[in-house]
């Protein structure tokens, strides 16, 4: 007699949606002072909003992510690839969609459905390119708040994200503290170190040095694929760790027994990075890399995190914070997470902290790990 197969519950097929606002003459004003409109945000939702409209969790994606955080799309043409946090979001998972209404918007400045430098500038009928105004993490969060209001959400049960997504979490806490019941910041920082800025600048220079970049006006012609691939290779190294690369690659050769004594790429790590670079050029826009990395470099909430409460504002329910770091993350090391925790504590915030031991590097939060799932499930469910 055969044993029944147990199937983990999954989300229903997902549909990417779009919300357009700030139609001229009612453009939004960015932190730079520039005006932008119309603005479109691509987003996906999972689960159902309750009658009180207060069970929503906003998931903020990382630098090159998108709104497809979980589940599968409805048509074959959109692809069957599961969402980037599929192990975390869904019925019975860490963020349980039987309990919570999950919203994941694609960020402003991206090229994955939201308005960015590759979008059509209504004033010219051509892609913005470098005419797209410089935006900040604050601008990204302001547009997300507009979307959340549009969806009829009265208060966020939580906001959660890793890396650049974690920056958005912190920005939500300082801009709209009364709107956020709980915040989970994973593998992130209150501001970029010189090291992080340096790697971003190398990536930007690789793109701008490509002869096809043409000062951002490459749409409709040859794209700066080589520069973008090199930028991705540089970035990808920062997402890994020495331990992970030693474990996975070491000094193993790629499909050969001895050195080529040339520049074809002898080692497996060389082949891996080239593969990552070539994949990236097929799905991401070079100008979006420039804008998002610069917005990340500008980000700085060190002073504002210490003033979340503000004078005379102690009667409201304080946001509960969970800060998570990884032992092998050298892009945003644990000492930066501890600085965040100390800043929150000094301002009287309710904050918990966990450092997870893992050798996967910065990208560890994107890898299935029951410890992370358990932490997040317990944190959000504990608020109920």
Indicate if 184 and 220 belong to the same structural domain.
no
Mean pLDDT of 119-141: 97
Options 163, 241, 296, 325, the catalytic residue: 163
Are both 164 and 238 inside the same structural domain?
Answer: no
Question: Does residue 91 lie in a domain region?
Answer: yes
Q: Are residues 176 and 200 in the same domain?
A: no
The position carrying tokens 């701008």 is: 208
pLDDT for position 306: 80
25 and 172 assigned to the same domain:
yes
Supply the pLDDT for residue 8: 52
Distances (CA, A) of 311 to 95, 188, 344, 347, 376: 34, 28, 16, 11, 31
Q: What percent of the chain has pLDDT over 90?
A: 87
Q: Which of the listed ranges 3-7, 164-168, 260-264, 345-349 does the model predict with the highest average pLDDT?
A: 164-168
236 is catalytic: no
Decide which of 294, 317, 333 is a domain's last residue: 294
- DSSP assignment letter at 182: E
Q: Are residues 255 and 310 in the same domain?
A: no
State pLDDT tens for residues 310-346: 444 555 688 999 999 999 999 999 999 999 999 999 9
Within a domain: residue 8?
Answer: no
Cβ–Cβ contacts within 10 Å for residue 244, how many? 18
Q: How many domains does the chain fold into? A: 2
Question: What residues have CB less than 8 Å from 161, skipping those under 6 apart?
Answer: 59, 60, 61, 62, 167, 168, 169, 184, 185, 186, 188
Mark whether 245 and 348 lie in a shared domain: no
Q: What is the pLDDT of residue 231?
A: 98
pLDDT at 16: 95
Q: Give domain status of residue 3, yes or no.
A: no
* CATH code (residue 167): 3.40.50.1820
Tell me, yes or no, if 157 is annotated catalytic: no
Residue 1 reports pLDDT greater than 50: no
Say yes or no: 222 and 344 in one domain: no
- Give the end of a domain, one of 255, 279, 294: 294
pLDDT surpassing 50 at residue 179: yes
Output the pLDDT for position 79: 57
180 and 207 in a common domain = no
Q: Of 294, 315, 337, which closes a domain?
A: 294
pLDDT in tens, 96-118: 999 999 999 999 999 999 999 99
The residue segments making up the domain with residue 174 are 17-192+300-381
The answer on 124 and 81 residing in a single domain is yes
Instruction: Single out the catalytic residue among 110, 285, 362, 369.
Output: 362
Pair 179, 202 in one domain: no
Q: Which residues contact 258 (CB under 8 A, 6 or more apart)?
A: none
Residue 305 has pLDDT above 80, yes or no: yes
- Residue of 66, 210, 285, 329 marked active site: 329
Domain co-membership, 271 together with 258 = yes
Tell me, yes or no, if 359 is annotated catalytic.
no
């Amino acid at each position: 007699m055969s044993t029944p197969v147990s199937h983990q519950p999954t989300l229903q097929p997902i549909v990417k949606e779009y919300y357009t606002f700030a139609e001229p003459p009612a453009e939004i004003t960015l932190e730079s002072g520039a005006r932008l409109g119309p603005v479109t945000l691509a987003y996906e939702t999972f689960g159902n909003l309750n009658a009180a409209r207060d069970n929503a969790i906003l998931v903020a994606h990382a630098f090159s992510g998108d709104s497809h955080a979980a589940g599968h799309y409805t048509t074959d043409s959109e692809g069957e690839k599961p969402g980037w946090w599929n192990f975390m979001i869904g019925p019975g998972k860490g963020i349980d969609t039987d309990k919570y209404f999950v919203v994941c918007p694609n960020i402003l400045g991206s090229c994955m459905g939201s308005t960015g430098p590759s979008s059509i500038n209504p004033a010219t009928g051509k892609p913005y390119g470098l005419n797209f105004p410089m935006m900040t993490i604050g601008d990204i969060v302001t547009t997300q708040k507009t979307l959340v209001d549009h969806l009829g959400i009265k208060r966020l049960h939580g906001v959660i994200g890793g890396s650049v997504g974690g920056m958005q979490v912190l920005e939500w806490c300082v801009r709209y503290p009364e709107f956020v019941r709980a915040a989970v910041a994973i593998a992130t920082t209150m501001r970029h170190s010189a090291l992080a800025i340096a790697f971003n600048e190398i990536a930007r220079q690789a793109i701008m040095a490509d002869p096809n970049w043409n000062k951002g006006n490459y749409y409709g012609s040859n794209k700066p694929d080589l520069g973008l691939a090199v930028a991705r290779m540089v970035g990808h190294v920062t997402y890994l760790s020495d331990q992970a690369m030693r474990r996975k690659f070491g000094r193993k050769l790629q499909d050969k027994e001895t050195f080529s004594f040339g520049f074809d790429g002898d080692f497996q790590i060389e082949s891996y990075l080239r593969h990552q670079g070539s994949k990236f050029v097929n799905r991401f826009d070079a100008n979006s890399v420039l804008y998002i990395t610069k917005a990340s470099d500008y980000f700085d909430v060190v002073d504002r995190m210490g003033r979340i409460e503000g004078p005379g504002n102690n009667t409201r329910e304080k946001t509960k914070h969970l800060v998570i770091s990884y032992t092998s993350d050298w892009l945003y090391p644990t000492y930066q997470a501890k600085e965040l925790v100390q800043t929150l504590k000094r301002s009287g915030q309710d904050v918990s902290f966990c450092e997870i031991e893992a050798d996967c590097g910065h990208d560890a939060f994107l890898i299935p790990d029951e410890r992370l799932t358990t932490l997040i499930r317990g944190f959000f469910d504990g608020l109920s």
